[in-house]
Amino acid sequence: GENVEQHPSTLSVQEGDSAVIKCTYSDSASNYFPWYKQELGKRPQLIIDIRSNVGEKKDQRIAVTLNKTAKHFSLHITETQPEDSAVYFCAARGSNYKLTFGKGTLLTVNP
Amino acid sequence: DAGVIQSPRHEVTEMGQEVTLRCKPISGHNSLFWYRQTMMRGLELLIYFNNNVPIDDSGMPEDRFSAKMPNASFSTLKIQPSEPRDSAVYFCASSLGSSGEVEQYFGPGTRLTVT
């Protein structure tokens, strides 16, 4: 089945800096890659997703890039704000139609 | 729309007891997922249903776990007998479509503690 590795597990940045979270996947047939944000004690919520026919997607301060050849994708957050502090999960939809999630990255934005 | 509804929000039980978690998906959604979240293992898919039919239960840890979806608006996840290692947050999620390429909407979760 699909295996998704996510790095780093924790990330601390100063407000206004950029944050980058990277994920790799194993199933070359995977074609859908969502990112979820989970605040402490809350449910995961989709923040952005990308499909395999697209190399990059941007939504305001958030962008995601995909390299299918290398089987890795990344989340970029620019001009970070304290409210961006949360756990971020990447996921990949493999050939079995299931989403496999990474272990998560705890992002802390220091004021 | 009220979103995905789960009950109870918190459950504390003793080892050996039966636990039943409940989920109401978003109206009109035809796929439903049960996940378990722990610090050690992260977010794991236990089982998912499409049009009330279980499609893949390969993530169900063992026979103590069972899930049902008797109709489009209700699903249960049962653990019998429960064990301390079952302590986790259990999320239900629903989506429109079965391709897996659409947003999954998560419920608020049930925090289960087995003592």
pLDDT tens-digit map of A49-97: 998 888 899 999 999 999 999 999 999 999 999 999 999 999 999 877 7
Largest CA distance in chain B: 39
H/E stretch holding A88 reads strand A86-93
CB contact under 8 A, B101 and A104: no
Q: How far is the C-alpha of B70 from the C-alpha of A104, rounded, in Å?
A: 33
Q: Which residue(s) pair with A50 in the sheet?
A: A33
DSSP state of B25: P
pLDDT mean over A19-44: 95
Contact by Cβ (8 Å): B2, B104: no
CA B106 to chain A, closest CA, distance in angstroms equals 6
The whole-angstrom distance between B14's CA and the closest CA on chain A is 23
**CA B26 to CA B46: how far, in whole Å?**
19
* Amino acid symbol at A111: P
Q: Which residues of B touch A (CB under 8 A)?
A: 42-45, 48, 55-56, 91, 98-101, 103-104, 106-109
C-beta separation of B22 from B7 below 8 A: yes
Alpha carbon A5 to chain centroid, angstroms? 11
> Which phi and psi (to 5°) does residue A70 adopt?
-85, -10
Taking CB atoms and an 8 Å cutoff, what residues of chain B touch A97?
55-56, 98-100
pLDDT tens string for chain B (115 positions)? 689 999 999 999 999 999 999 999 999 999 999 999 998 889 999 999 999 999 999 999 889 999 999 999 999 999 999 999 999 999 999 998 766 678 899 999 999 999 9
Beta carbons within 8 Å of A82's beta carbon, 6+ residues apart: A15, A109, A110, A111
Q: How far apart are CA B28 and CA A44, in angstroms?
A: 21
Give me the residues paired with residue B48 across strands.
Answer: B33, B56
Mean pLDDT of A31-36: 94
pLDDT at position B76, please?
Answer: 98
Structure tokens at A10: 């924790």
Report the alpha-carbon distance of residue B73 to residue B28 in Å, rounded: 9
The whole-chain average pLDDT of chain A stands at 94
